[in-house]
Amino acid sequence: MKTKTTYFCQSCGAQSPKWLGKCPSCGGWNTFVEEIVQKENKNQPHFKSTTTQLAAKPRHISEINYDELPRISTNDGELDRILGGGIVPGSLILLGGEPGIGKSTLMLQVAMKLKDKKVLYVSGEESQQQVKMRAERVGDIVSDCYILTETSTQNIFKQAEMLEPEVVIIDSIQTLYSAHIESAAGSISQVRECTAELIKYAKETGTPVFLIGHITKEGTIAGPKVLEHMVDVVLQFEGDRHLVYRILRSIKNRFHSTNELGIYEMLGSGLREVNNPSEVLLSQREEGLSGVAISAMLEGNRPFMIEIQSLVSVATYGTPQRTTTGFDGKRLNMLLAVLEKRGGFRLGTQDVFINIAGGIKVEDPGIDLAVCASIISSFEDIAISTHVCFAAEVGLGGEVRAVNRVEQRISEAQKLGFKEIYISKYNMKGLDTQNFSIKISAVGKLEELVEGLFG
Ligand code: TYD
Ligand code: MG
């Protein structure tokens, strides 16, 4: 067999038989690299292939029976919930995140917590000593965990065959290489081949495999999106490296909904599960501060309270600045325009800074009303009572719009001791206010909010 090469775009994974200056798929320049997809002499055995013995036959759907596979609990409440009750045997779980966010720490902690399971932790990045040092830091070593420093997939499978682990963790996919592919570790074709081999291993042995993947600066795991299609579950670990909170999000899950979300706190002794995020995020509040508003937001299925801080001050250096952390800048511009046009607030000459406390990024439009309230509060320099919170979207006409799962948001606010919540009047239909002891103030327009809060 001849050596076969193809050109791959290193940012999106597109293929081309010849070199191209510009990728027709993602538009990137100079991203094509020649990679050998098949070696001249291919006689090294793959991971034990059983495809010839097990030729699949179609079966009638009613004849297929499956015993609900017992999920393996990770003993980590947040992770279990995101996975839908634990690890599904034989599944491949990809954990993505930026370097330094805590992926290795999380996985090692999972390895330590899987008490009665034999775990194989394969590290291509750190030595056995380094891994052990970290393991001691994050907790007592009580589990049946083996550390292997290896980057060749063939060797990993050889060791796995002897050890017969019940869970395998690979840190990271970018360090692996398969002897079947010539190109360098971390290149598109290597990443793809190694993942394919791991999937085969997982499916054939029923061993679940966790795969750590670094996210490139474009925000995709290992560059190509192609990895995400191959695996069963894609989790993303995110947060600001300089802040303590980390969010574990499920992007794809073949066995559960992707609406779950986990929150961790990075401590000196590893990651701590945050069971009640609202309490942590609200703990540093100061009474009587203007520009602060609390929103009952929703991340996935989970409601929690978040603090929005605004600073509005006269722009002294020409063009007013608009800076946001954790909130979409375009959305801020829209809300400012609405406040100016519909509310009559002269914000055009003001610098506006918005910060979401805790380093959390919020996409839920349900925080709009709180953002507006905090801007007005800072602009007017009147503090909002710490017993008040908000949950509504704001439209271009200055109308206060309904949000989803309003009951859940109200319950969360009530649970945390808030006395009043502002919601949209359009959310009142079908809402059983008898269930709540918290005061529910329904508004239809921004003016009504201003009237209610500061009037
Ligand atoms: P790490 O898990 O190595 O990140 P990744 O594998 O995603 O690259 O975590 C790196 C950071 O976590 C590092 O900056 C130090 C910090 N850290 C703690 O704060 N506490 C700890 O107990 C550990 C193990 C790490
Ligand atoms: Mg790491």
Q: Given pLDDT bands bounded at 50, 70 and 90, which one contains residue 166?
A: very high
Supply the residue whose CA is at minimum distance from atom 14 of ligand 1. 100
Question: Ligand 1 pocket, 137 CB below 6 A?
Answer: yes
Percent of the chain with pLDDT over 90: 49
For residue 174, give the ligand nearest its CA.
Answer: 2
Reply yes or no: is the peptide bond before residue 290 cis, omega within 30 of 0.
no
| C-alpha dist (Å) from residue 371 to 178, 233, 271, 423, 438 | 51, 34, 30, 13, 21
Do residues 182 and 6 make contact, with C-beta atoms less than 8 angstroms apart?
A: no
Using alpha carbons only, how large is the chain's radius of gyration in Å?
A: 26
pLDDT in tens, 131-142: 999 999 887 777
90 Cβ contact partners less than 8 Å away, ≥ 6 residues apart:
202, 203, 205, 206, 207, 208
Q: Which atom of ligand 1 is nearest to the CA of 172?
A: 6
User: Using an 8 Å Cβ cutoff, are 188 and 31 in contact?
Assistant: no
Q: What is the pLDDT of residue 45?
A: 47
The pLDDT of residue 216 is above 50: yes
H/E segment holding residue 103: helix 103-113
Q: CA 423 → CA 188, 237, 326, 441, 444, distances in Å?
A: 48, 31, 22, 6, 9
Question: How far apart are the CA of 278 and the centre of ligand 1, in A?
Answer: 24
Q: Which of 32-46, 234-248, 422-436 has the lowest mean pLDDT?
A: 32-46
pLDDT at 228: 84
Cα 435 to averaged position of ligand 2 atoms, centre (Å)? 47
CA dihedral 185, 189, 193, 195 (to 10 degrees): 70
The pLDDT assigned to 283 comes to 62
233 alpha carbon – ligand 2 mean position (Å): 19
Q: Which of 203, 245, 194 is nearest to 54 (CA)?
A: 203
pLDDT of residue 221 exceeding 50, the answer is: yes
Of 244-248, 278-282, 374-378, 413-417, the one with minimum mean pLDDT is 278-282
Is the distance from CB of 159 to CB of 148 less than 8 angstroms?
A: yes
- On whether the CB atoms of residues 241 and 247 are closer than 8 A, the answer is no
CA of 172, nearest ligand number: 2
pLDDT digits (tens, 9 = 90+) for 360-390: 788 899 999 999 999 999 999 999 998 999 9
**Please, which residues have CB within 8 angstroms of residue 386's CB and are 6 or more apart in sequence?**
285, 287, 294
pLDDT per position as a tens digit, 298-328: 887 778 889 999 999 998 888 899 999 989 9
